[in-house]
Amino acid sequence: METLEFQAEARQLLQLMVHSIYSNKDIFLRELISNASDALDKLRLAKLQDGLEADTSDLHIEIEVDAEARTLAVRDNGIGMTRDEVVALIGTIAKSGTAELLGKLKEAKESPELIGQFGVGFYSTFMVADRVELVTRKAGTEGHGTRWESTGEGTFTIDEAPDAPIGTTVTLHLRPKDEDDALYDYTDEWKLKEIVKRYSDFISFPIRKRSGEEVQTLNSQKALWARPRSEVTDEEYHEFYKHISHDWTDPLEIINMKAEGTFEYEALLFIPSRAPHDLFQRDARRGLQLYVKRVFIMDDSKELIPDYLRFVKGVVDAADLSLNISREILQQDRHIQMIRRRLVKKVLSTIKDLQTSNPEKYATFWREFGRAVKEGLLAEPDNHKPILEIASFATTEGTEPTTLAAYVERMKEGQEEIYFLTGESRSQVENSPHMEAFRAQGYEVLILTDPVDEIWTDVVPDFDGRKLRSIARGSVDLPQDEEKPEPEGDFGPLLGFLGEKLSEQVKEVRLSHRLTTSAACLVSDADDITPALEKMYRAMGQEGPRVKRILELNPDHPLVAGLRAAHERSAEDTSLRDTAELLYGTALLAEGGDLEDPAKFAKLLADRLAQTV
């Protein structure tokens, strides 16, 4: 026998279990049954696809209690584990992001939202047991099995189990019942029936309860996706969702689909009510479960749902696929591609319906998943319209996000385009000099602050025939500009002078129509990429020539007017050159940009200030 230590994170998690932060302790059984069901699926699949020799004629889960000894055993005749697998799978937490979540969990002890993000699986047994034994033997291996045992306190023991049958048995030595602490008597038949019915009814293998000679099956085993929606309660759907998603919170929306005819399939999809912590981690699990005629084929089938909808969970049961279809074949399968297109369409239209049928749900959806959904604007040019229809954006009109359709409704007389400005934060965008004329003349501007906004706005030209227009690009002619009087004096020579002095930094210096209070701002030429995008490409290792921008001056600003007068008096004045640098630097700072030579700018500024004191 060997005594081993739990990995540090596993120890922390166990501590939380032993000191029981979850109010609902019943769920340990759901976790054990869920693991057993996975193990049975895996065995059936190993036989089907890898030709493993195994008896799969009576795959089942069995619950056995001994009221006197106060033990509860959950047994399956599934795939089982080798010794090394037991050490690796039960002794460590492999899930990414777990450590990070643990930290948060500890800070916010009783916060149900946080706990909900975090399926604790096997370790939940320590909420109800003070000692747990696991005996297992891997299908297809010769010789003895493995016995694992722990009290959940830092170490576990590993030993040989000479006559272990194929599969896994987990035996809990139950703690005394304490109903005040929601710790029930888990040897009680009615309690067990109730828990199985509530959490595990849909499990596709029989869950049997043995008491002496008597054996009864506790679950109906009905595939939820195959049942008409009217016959299934929300609670049943929710439990199924939790089983397949490992989320502990009810889903936001349930989607049923059924296609008949030449290619039959059924789908049951869920939109979670909260983004998982690893939504933007590349190695996160994603994809749907694939079944063929009620037989589980694979998890995480990415072929069924595009990456930008990776948060969608669920099951697709396709009637006409081969049972031993591989991932490689799946990628090329025409039917799978068709199913995927239909699922996308259905998910997008479901969200669209929510906008009117349940605006609150829609707002939750967009807050949680909008950032991911917008990636679809890059991935699926064919779906620009439906994706933009379900999108909403922060705006200068009020604090609530707006849809594009609502924006268009509000557009002013004579306004043709949808105005937006990208930036790093709402306040940076709102205070940007580019915003001045738009604000002064009452034009609404969308405030786009997600990194992905920089990219999709570069490739999506319009929405429903209205051009999407960055107010930091190209020239602006707002309708009211025509009424403005021409600026006094001839700015031509000054602009020429500045253009020459700043030729390293900018491609042109011109007068602005977008400024009312600032002296200057920088804009990108209509066809050039924005500095943020340039920075992003550089970060990804794509080098290119630096894109110069255009410096725009506000002729009504005293600084600019004064500069013009000074230049007219003496074009040779050396301080003019410094003023030009200061003007350029200030414009860059105002939009949140980075100065190329901050020390030089600071010196110029200090020298200039010294002249004024």
Whose Cβ is closer to ligand ADP: residue 90's or residue 254's?
Answer: 90
Nearest CA among 455, 480, 594, 470 for reference residue 523 = 470
Whichever of 74 and 452 has its CB closer to Mg ion, that residue is 74
196 binds, among Mg ion, ligand ADP, none (CB under 5 to 8 A by kind): none
Tokens coding 435? 């915003």
User: Would you say 431 is a known binding-site residue?
Assistant: no
Could you tell me the smallest distance in angstroms from the CB atom of residue 79 to ligand ADP? Answer: 6
Classify 297 as helix, strand or coil: strand
Residue 95 annotated as lining a ligand binding site: yes
The answer to whether 81 is annotated as binding is: yes
Residue from 121, 145, 272, 423 binding Mg ion (CB under 5 A): 121
Q: Which is nearer to ligand ADP, 93 or 588 (CB)?
A: 93
The candidate with the shortest Cα–Cα distance to 31, out of 191, 170, 230, 146, is 170
Q: Is 429 annotated as a binding residue?
A: no
Secondary structure percentages of the chain, helix, strand, coil, to 5: 40, 20, 35
The interface partner of residue 287, options being Mg ion, ligand ADP, none and the CB cut-off 5 to 8 Å by kind, is none
Q: Is 76 one of the annotated binding-site residues?
A: yes
Q: Is 24 annotated as a binding residue?
A: no
- d(CA 200, CA 218) in angstroms, rounded, equals 9
**Minimal distance, residue 73 CB to Mg ion, in Å:** 17
Interface mask toward Mg ion for 14-43; x: CB under 5 A:
--------------------xx--------
586/592 Cα distance (integer angstroms): 10
Neighbour-count burial for 261-299, b at 16+ CB within 10 Å, e otherwise: eeeebbbbbbbbbbbbbbbeeeebebbbbbbbeeebbbe
The answer to whether 403 and 392 are in contact (CB under 8 A) is yes
Q: Is 17 annotated as a binding residue?
A: no
Q: Which is nearer to Mg ion, 34 or 187 (CB)?
A: 34
Residue of 90, 93, 92, 94 whose CA lies nearest to 149: 90
Give whichever of 13 and 452 is closer to ligand ADP, judged by the CB atom. Answer: 13
Could you give the dihedral angle defined by the CA atoms of residues 501, 506, 510 and 514, in that order, rounded to the nearest 10 degrees? -140
Q: Is 373 annotated as a binding residue?
A: no
- Shortest reach from residue 33's CB to ligand ADP, in Å: 9
Q: How far is the CB of 262 from ligand ADP (least distance, A)?
A: 37
Pick the closest to residue 26 from 200, 152, 143 (CA basis): 200
3-state secondary structure 500-539: HHCCCCEEEEEECCCCCCCCEEEEECCCCCCHHHHHHHHH
119 annotated ligand binder: yes
If the CB atoms of residues 90 and 506 are measured against ligand ADP, the closer one turns out to be 90
Q: How far is the CB of 120 from ligand ADP (least distance, A)?
A: 7
Alpha helices in 120-229 (DSSP H): 189-200
The tokens describing 92, both together, are: 């460590």
Supply 82's token pair.
């080798």
| Interacting residues toward ligand ADP by CB under 6 A | 31, 35-36, 39, 76, 78-81, 89-90, 119, 121-122, 168, 246
Report the residue number, 89 or 114, with the smaller CB distance to ligand ADP. 89
Q: Closest distance between ligand ADP and the C-beta of residue 150, in Å?
A: 13
Residue stretches of the annotated binding site: 31, 35, 76, 81, 95-97, 117-122, 168, 327
Residue stretches of the annotated binding site for ATP: 31, 35, 76, 81, 95-97, 117-122, 168, 327
Q: Which residues bind Mg ion (CB under 5 A)?
A: 34-35, 121
